């Protein structure tokens, strides 16, 4: 059994799925979304980008969705111009929202600071809060298997971050104002990494990256852009653990992401 097949098996989807992106790629045109958090009327669609898209889904032209404003941050954080070390120090010391009160530690992110791939989750859970690293629990194991199915590994050409850097109590979904408050940190991480592709894992990540109401089912298979960086949306690994029947769709999304790397 090939390594890739064994990884797909780990994801629980082999031998059903094969990457259909490589043999017969199709061309697709995508349009940019307005920059996250920019007012809709101030947005300028970027020049259309030619990409090779996986034919697994009939994906062609992305229609810019209606962008609804993200909630106001509870207080203002600035990460502008910070280098990696200063940025991580700021994140670790941050008390800008209520998530700072009950965390054990902030979880800035992990991986290659010059990564091609950036995976963005929702927020740290209990194990991440204890260990200070994103995606180290059960969902993290599945994320590692997803990375391996693409021939990627945590820390090598891959960076993993979250929409919020502190654990929401009881693992609740982060509130919109918490995500908005934390957003400058993610924004700066993206500026520093300059990834070739961003994969949004789940709805909160997609919404913070794309700046509007996003439904995963509708956003899958579309190539978005955020400040010139392609963004692909897929299911959160924790969702996939609860809904293994959707792992095959996630694999399809990862193939689409790989075909969309510019
Ligand atoms: N879920 C997330 O969204 N992020 C983590 O770091 C862990 C679980």
Q: Is the CB of 125 under 6 A from ligand 1?
A: yes
pTM: 0.82
130 in a structural domain: yes
> In the chain, which ranges are continuous DSSP H helix?
3-11, 84-93, 99-102, 126-131, 138-149, 176-193, 203-210, 216-219, 237-242, 247-260
Number of domains in the chain: 1
**165 alpha carbon to ligand 1 midpoint, in Å?**
10
229 in a structural domain: yes
Q: 111, 133, 139: which to mutate for ligand 1, most atoms within 8 A of CB?
A: 139
pLDDT value at residue 47: 33
pLDDT value at residue 165: 98
Closest ligand 1 atom, CA of 163? 3
53 in a structural domain: no
Q: Is the CB of 109 under 6 A from ligand 1?
A: no
DSSP string for residues in 117-138? EEEEES---HHHHHHSSSS-SH
Could you tell me the residue range of the domain that residue 209 belongs to?
Answer: 3-15+28-47+58-260
pLDDT value at residue 22: 41
pLDDT value at residue 21: 46
Q: Is the CB of 142 under 6 A from ligand 1?
A: no
Q: Distance between CA 8 and CA 109 in Å, rounded? A: 25
**122 alpha carbon to ligand 1 midpoint, in Å?**
6
Closest ligand 1 atom, CA of 128? 6
Q: Distance between CA 23 and CA 128 in Å, rounded? A: 39
Q: Is the CB of 121 under 6 A from ligand 1?
A: yes
167 in a structural domain: yes
52 in a structural domain: no
**135 alpha carbon to ligand 1 midpoint, in Å?**
5
Residue 63 CA neighbour count, 13 Å, CB half:
3
Q: 131, 135, 136, 216: which to mutate for ligand 1, most atoms within 8 A of CB?
A: 135
- How confident is the chain (262 residues) per 10-residue block, as mean pLDDT? 69 58 38 38 32 40 48 86 98 97 98 98 98 97 96 96 98 95 97 98 96 94 95 98 97 96 82
Q: Distance between CA 88 and CA 108 in Å, rounded? A: 6
- Other CB atoms within a 10 A radius of the CB of residue 150 amount to 18
250 in Cβ contact with 10 (< 8 Å) = no
Backbone angles phi, psi at 146, to 5 degrees: -65, -45
23 in a structural domain: no
pLDDT value at residue 201: 98
Domain harbouring 73, CATH code:
3.40.470.10
End-to-end CA distance of the chain: 30
85 in a structural domain: yes
pLDDT value at residue 52: 34
Q: 99, 120, 140, 182: which to mutate for ligand 1, most atoms within 8 A of CB?
A: 140
Q: 107, 108, 119, 125: which to mutate for ligand 1, most atoms within 8 A of CB?
A: 125
Backbone angles phi, psi at 167, to 5 degrees: -70, 125
Closest ligand 1 atom, CA of 236? 3
DSSP tag of 155: T
pLDDT value at residue 3: 62
Q: Is the CB of 139 under 6 A from ligand 1?
A: yes
């Amino acid at each position: 059994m090939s390594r890739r097949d064994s990884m797909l098996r780990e994801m629980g989807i082999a031998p059903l799925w094969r990457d259909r992106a490589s043999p017969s790629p199709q061309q697709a045109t995508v349009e940019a979304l307005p920059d996250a958090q920019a007012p809709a009327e101030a947005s300028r669609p970027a020049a259309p980008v030619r990409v090779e898209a996986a034919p697994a889904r009939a994906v062609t032209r992305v229609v810019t969705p209606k962008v609804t404003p993200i909630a106001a941050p509870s207080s203002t954080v600035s990460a502008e111009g910070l280098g990696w070390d200063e940025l991580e120090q700021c994140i670790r010391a941050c008390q800008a929202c209520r998530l700072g009160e009950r965390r054990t530690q902030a979880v800035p992110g992990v991986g290659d600071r010059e990564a091609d791939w950036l995976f963005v989750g929702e927020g740290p859970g209990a194990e991440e809060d204890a260990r200070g690293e994103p995606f180290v629990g059960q969902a993290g194991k599945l994320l590692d298997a997803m990375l391996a199915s693409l021939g990627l590994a945590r820390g090598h050409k891959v960076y993993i971050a979250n929409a919020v850097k502190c654990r929401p109590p009881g693992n609740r979904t982060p509130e919109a104002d918490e995500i908005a408050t934390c957003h400058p940190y993610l924004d700066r991480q993206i500026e520093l990494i300059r990834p070739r592709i961003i994969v949004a894992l789940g709805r909160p990540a997609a919404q913070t990256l794309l700046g509007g109401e996003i439904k995963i089912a509708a956003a899958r298979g579309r190539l978005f852009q955020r400040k010139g960086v392609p963004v692909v949306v897929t299911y959160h690994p924790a969702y996939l653990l609860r809904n293994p029947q959707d792992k095959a769709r996630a694999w399809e999304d990862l193939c689409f992401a790989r075909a969309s790397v510019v």
